[in-house]
Structure 1
Amino acid sequence: MVSSDHAEEELLAIGEVSYRSGIAVSAIHFYESKGLIRSSRNKRNQRLFSRRELRVLALIKVAQDLGFTLEEIGEAFRGIPTDRTPRKGDWQKVSRALDKALEEKINLAQRMRKQLNQCIGCGCLSLSDCPLRNPQDELGKHGPGPHLLR
């Protein structure tokens, strides 16, 4: 609970957080319910957020754009202290936590690009009939899914 007027001046109302982050109020509530961000309450029971949460929201937004799940993001953020403003070392821990998964996503995207580039110009537009990539639909025998990419 925020106790002084001075402390409230340093905190942001949810509308300001929404405006500055570009994230809808409902999404901010959702991220808070998942424990990804935190708020305090003033005497009128209004949510107030520290500027720290703007940084976290920015990372959440970028991580989601990169295909990370909220669970993956939450796990990476476990190392961020909640009792103080995160320092450079804290953010580096988050970076390391996401680095391996990000590297896997990059490798998958590169494999996908390579596979697509090998089929461009072929003209068959069908992996089930492609004599170069999947003759006699051999991959279909292995079940559903992108076998060439995984």
Structure 2
Amino acid sequence: MAAIHLDIAEVAQQSGVPASTLRFYEEKGLIASTGRRGLRRLFDADVLERLALIAVGRSAGFSLEEIGHMFAPGGVPRIDRQVLAAKADELDKTIRKLTAMRDGLRHATACPAPSHMECPTFQRILRAATRAGGRKAPTTRRSLDRCG
């Protein structure tokens, strides 16, 4: 059975990835064209699956270099589970930080203090944001329910 080849425009349309990005990914070695039809690059149909894996990796915060290491020669995925676990832990920290910030902003919108700068909870948020680059969660949910 003959392999299905898609030209770069078809890959761009089906994947939602612009042709310029496809050419960039090819330069970086993340995908490989299999030839040309006129001036257009051709790709095996399985490039769509590879592009989906790249998209998932990018959404999870992996760099293109890190994603590149997740493919063995020949394009077979070889994803290190420890790397995935470490990224999941990193995402958990980011989620906690963003949740605390969201809760602080919600508190600030409803705080009865005359000024946000007079609100003890808002002051704690500011102090936490300046300490250690904001890595520490500024408050707990319970402390946001009341001002002070």
- CA separation in 2, counterparts of 1:138 and 1:114? 13
Structure 1 residue runs of 5 or longer lacking an equivalent are 1-5
Cα distance in 1 for residues equivalent to 2:129 and 2:14: 49
**How many residues are treated as equivalent by the alignment?**
132
CA distance in 2, matches of 1:100, 1:111: 17
Shift of the alpha carbon at 1:21?
A: 0.7
Give the letter aligned to residue 25 of structure 2.
Y
2:7 to 9, 13, 33: 13
Is residue 82 of structure 1 aligned with residue 70 of structure 2?
A: no
TM-score, normalised by the number of residues in structure 2: 0.65
C-alpha distance in 1, partners of 2:62/2:136?
22
Normalised by the length of structure 1, the TM-score is 0.64
- 1:94 aligned onto 2:86: no
Runs of 4+, deviation exceeding 3 Å: 42-46, 132-135, 137-143
Q: 1:62–1:129: structure 2 CA closer, same or farther, 3 Å change rule?
A: farther
What is the percentage of aligned positions where both structures have the same residue? Answer: 30
Distance 1:51 1:94, change over 3 A: farther
Aligned twin of 2:47: 53
- Helix, strand or coil: the match of 1:101? helix
Please give the root-mean-square deviation of Cα atoms over the aligned residues, in Å. 3.4
Correspondence for 1:68: 62
In structure 2, distance between residues paired with 1:15 and 1:119: 44
